[in-house]
Structure 1
Amino acid sequence: MLDSMYGAVELGLLYSLMALGVFITFRILDFPDLTVDGSFATGGAVAAVLLSNGYSMWIAMIAAFLAGTVAGACTGLLHTKGKINGLLSGILMMIALHSINLRIMGKPNTSLLDIEPMFSSISPIWVKLIVMAVCILVIKFLLDAFLRTDMGLALRATGDNPRMIRSFGANTDNTKMLGISLSNGLVALSGGLIAQQSSYADISMGIGMIVIGLASVIIGEAIFGARTVFWATLAAVLGSIVYRIVVALALRVEWLEASDLKLITALIVIVALVLPSARRAMKQKSMAKKRSAQLTAEASKTPTPTGGAR
């Protein structure tokens, strides 16, 4: 049981970069980017090819990040310059990346059994998790710092009110392309880390990643809140870990199988989406009842007027 929890936390940390990428498009830009399913596999494919050809782990991870940014930039170009609907541009790029990933690897999958994973030499396991968490938090703090710069503020304003930010002379097309590129770069970096951790890269490894990313972001916000940029990005990271722990616990149920993972993911997202609305509705109903009882009590204390003297 404890080993499975350690494994869930480890996977949650590796997938948290993908959750941060989804957070940028989903929450900051309000852009429905389905490129994620393709760019995740692109990161894994690029990293796997470089690692299998003898390149260092750091070069492979940087190349995976850059490949993801290029994929995101293409989606941004389709949307901003090609005037294609955001959802459709993401779908088109996701489909294109399937063939591109096959070209990169030259085959449906690439084995990395001879490659030692990045954090495998660290022991015991809890020290390994601490080191991984520190690395993820460094990236998270760098993202926080960027979002507080002038360019980052323009990026956030583009998602909130693009008409207003255009009135200040900002180019929203450029900020959208920057945000989508950065998002897919983080997603591809996560794909590269998962590939070296799993010891293989597969053409279908990115299927359903957008749902997992959304689940992580929504769960994190529901549990930890998103009052500021710092808390919002931290919630995405912690949400990824919580999601993996929930999945690990669900798979321990006897009548559930590993093939039910996508169903479990969908159910988790549904619950995470419905619970805040249900909680808000219950709170409003409770406040309405209290207000009604207060008005009734005030009415009962008011003296009834009697007839005046004749």
Structure 2
Amino acid sequence: MTLYSFMGALEIGLIFSLVALGVLISFRILNFPDLTVDGTFPLGGAVAATLIASGSDPFTATLVATAAGAFAGMLTGWFNVRLRIMDLLAGILLMTALYSINLRIMGKPNVPLIFEPTVFSVLLPGVLPDYIEKPLLLVVVVLVIKFALDWFFSSETGLAMRATGANPRMARAQGVATGRAKLAGLALSNALVSLAGALFAQSQGGSDISMGIGTIVIGLAAVIIGESVLPARRLIWMTLAVIIGAVLYRFFIALALNSEFIGLKSQDLNLVASLLVTFVLVLPILKRNLRLRGRQGG
């Protein structure tokens, strides 16, 4: 793998680590199987790209895109909490609706940003090549968000949210408004995913309607890989683990697609992703079986 490919994988991995943090909040902290992320990731890209292409400031466009993702996540929670729609179905309904909404926002299947200003072109000093400066900037962004989440989930509001996911009946008995906690948690989760979509669109030079396909698989893969590499119960280590998992996931994908002897091409990306996630899910079972055989043999 060349330095350019390595830094490219690191850049995309860092962007998708924000998706992984969002998935961590919904799946692990809230215990809510939220599939909205397949819609909010391209939503962030669509909103940011459309606003930037129409002349808006890239920072304002990114903030609006993040807010749009938060609203979409809150709407999923509202479907579940207020309308009593099953959590999985609520996410599927909004994910499906967002496909049409994203097309409406962009007005066409894709919006290019090749000659438009982005947060990267504004913030990067230009001392080093952009394929080196972009990952460095993203490291700072991801770490700031990671530490902000660590602080938030150690606060009273964050602890109430964690209690809602761990044991909602006990949380209600302690006076926690579990419905509000779920709405806030899903809003935060999808805000991070939408922010990742906005950064991804600006990093890759445009937004596309199909850019959200498989986002939930990538987020889950990052969470599972991170938990396998760095198993921990404390949230401060869990957030670090999913960031590492997202970066490792992109490195695995890059290695697979750059290995000529395997014969894989770019169109095989989703196949490689599915096989990788399957392997990571099966790996703990294989380890446990090997340990049992070792004990029986001993």
The reply to whether TM is greater than 0.5 is yes
Within-5 A mapping of 1:274-285: 274-285=282-293
Shift of 1:45: 0.6
Aligned to 1:67: 68
Output the CA distance in 2 between the equivalents of 1:251 and 1:77: 41
Shift of 1:287: 4.0
- The runs of 5 or more residues in structure 2 that have no matched partner are none
Conserved 8 A contact 1:117-1:199: no
Question: 1:227 and 2:228 equivalent?
Answer: no
Question: 1:243 and 2:244 equivalent?
Answer: no
Within-5 A mapping of 1:120-269: 120=121, 121=124, 122=126, 123-124=128-129, 125-254=131-260, 255-269=263-277
Aligned to 1:49: 50
Aligned to 1:272: 280
Report the aligned-residue RMSD. 1.4
Conserved 8 A contact 1:8-1:244: yes
- The runs of 5 or more residues in structure 1 that have no matched partner are 291-310
Shift of 1:114: 1.1
Aligned length: 290
| TM-score w.r.t. length of structure 1 | 0.90
Output the CA distance in 2 between the equivalents of 1:143 and 1:286: 41
1:127–1:112 distance in 2 versus 1, CA, 3 Å: closer
Local SS of the residue matching 2:120: coil
1:33-54 deviation per Cα after TM superposition (whole angstroms, max 9, x unaligned): 1100101111001000111112
Shift of 1:288: 4.9
Give the number of the structure whose alpha-carbon radius of gyration is greater: 1
Shift of 1:58: 1.1
Output the CA distance in 2 between the equivalents of 1:166 and 1:284: 41
In terms of mean alpha carbon deviation, does 41-50 or 279-288 score higher? 279-288
Q: What amino acid does structure 2 have at the position aligned with 1:141?
A: F
Q: What amino acid does structure 1 have at the position aligned with 2:171?
A: I
Conserved 8 A contact 1:110-1:200: yes
Output the CA distance in 1 between the equivalents of 2:70 and 2:134: 28
